[in-house]
Amino acid sequence: MTKLNIEYIRLTITFVVFVFIITLLFLHINQVQLDWFETLSEVFTIPALILSIIIPIWMIIDLIRKKIADKSIFNLTFFICVISILLLLFALSFLN
């Protein structure tokens, strides 16, 4: 697997976590009751939290080791990770 493939996989995982967090916040703020999504979100909340913490750490380690294939993909992934973490902090502080 090349470095560029790893960057794309990391970007895809980050984007999926971001969409999950946005959807969860949207449904919670608008008080939409979907039983299947509530069950699914209970299952995927902990893995999403773990991924939103591990991916930036993994990116920083790759940055230190200079194993970055494309700087623009790296920056986009890091930006989405930071936005996801900020949304999680918003959800924890204001919605509870």
What does the alpha-carbon distance between residue 54 and residue 70 come to, in Å, rounded to a whole number?
Answer: 20
Q: In terms of residue numbers, what domain contains 85?
A: 3-94
Q: Which amino acid is at 56?
A: P
Torsion of CA 88, 32, 77, 54, to 10 degrees: 50
35-58 tens-digit pLDDT: 888 898 889 888 988 998 999 999
- Sign of the CA dihedral running 82, 55, 9, 20: negative
Considering its fold, how many domains does the chain have in total?
1
Q: Map tokens 């930071």 to a residue.
A: 82
What is the value of pTM for the model shown? 0.85
59-91 tens-digit pLDDT: 999 889 988 888 899 899 999 999 999 998 888
Mean pLDDT (the chain, rounded): 89
